[in-house]
Structure 1
């Protein structure tokens, strides 16, 4: 499917037919998700393809048993986990190799640990950023654990969008769900306390009753400002 056609075809589907989604369709979409842009290439996302029937039922219940989850053929849970940063840090350094510029090596060996760890120094980082900002433009975040969590959530949301568009491009449908009991979902998946469930995406072939109406967007001039 042509790119802009895939964007137009994507809708949030609340009910699916019993038609199975081929594994290769899922694999292509998941590969596309992993190609999403993300902060500093730290890839602080984890993706759970919930394929086993009993686990799907448990996740659907945690999603308030809404139709988009209950009738889905596949469920994919997108997790943001800042605590996985070190895996990507080491992998990036290995990939770059010894010939990498010193500035790049310093970025991963000094700046990334400063931002992603040493949470006890959060007030100190806040003070440094804001004092520096008195004299020149400076990136004032992230300095706290919450800021780092936000960075991971943004990156994970980009991966989720790639996934949905890739599913749409292959003629199937999705629904991104935020209506779920995060604590129960984390328990089902065995996740730690620092992990955040960003969204759960259901996948299937749309049932005609799965659309709640015509697409509506606010007028372009309301949300777009050219200055």
Structure 2
């Protein structure tokens, strides 16, 4: 499917048919998710493809048993977890090798721990960024744990969109769900306290009654500002 066809075909489906989604379709879409842009290539996302039947039922229950979860053939949980930063830091340094540019090595060896760890230094980080901002434009965030979590959530959302478009391109459907009990989901998946469940995406073939209605978007002149 052409890219723009896939974008137009993607709809949030509330009810699916019993048709099985082939593993190859899921694998391709998950591979596409991992190609999403993300902050500093830290890839602070974790993607849980729920296979086990009982776990699926528990996740669907945590999604308030809504039709999009209850009738789905597949459920995928997209999680932002900044506590995984060190794994990516080490992997990036290994990939770069000893002959990489010195500033890039410093970026991963010094700046990444400064941003992702050393949370007790949050006031110092705030001070550093704001003093620098008096002299030149600087990135004012992230300096707090909340900022870092926000960065991880943004990256994970980009991966989620890649996944949904890849599913759409293969002729299947999705629904990104925000209506869920995050505490229950985190308990089911045994997630860390710093992890955030960004969205749960159901996958399947759309049922005739799966659409809530015709697509509506605000006129683009209301939301796109050409300056």
Same fold (TM over 0.5): yes
- 2:96 paired residue number: 96
Quote the offset at 1:167 in angstroms. 0.1
With normalisation by structure 2, the TM-score equals 0.99
Q: How much is the aligned-residue C-alpha RMSD, in angstroms?
A: 0.5
Distance (Å, rounded) in 1 between the aligned partners of 2:105 and 2:192:
30
Gaps of 5+ in 1: none
Quote the offset at 1:125 in angstroms. 0.6
Distance (Å, rounded) in 1 between the aligned partners of 2:156 and 2:115:
18
- 2:159 paired residue number: 159
- 2:150 paired residue number: 150
Mapping for residues 38-187 of structure 1, pairs under 5 Å: 38-187=38-187
Distance (Å, rounded) in 2 between the aligned partners of 1:209 and 1:53:
25
- 1:222 paired residue number: 222
Distance (Å, rounded) in 1 between the aligned partners of 2:135 and 2:111:
21
Quote the offset at 1:136 in angstroms. 1.1
Q: Deviations over 1:5-51 (max 9, x none)?
A: 00000000000000010000000000000010000000000000001
With normalisation by structure 1, the TM-score equals 0.99
Structure 1 ranges of 4+ moved more than 6 A: none
Partner-residue secondary structure (3-state), 1:179: coil
Gaps of 5+ in 2: none
Distance (Å, rounded) in 2 between the aligned partners of 1:105 and 1:132:
22
Quote the offset at 1:134 in angstroms. 1.3
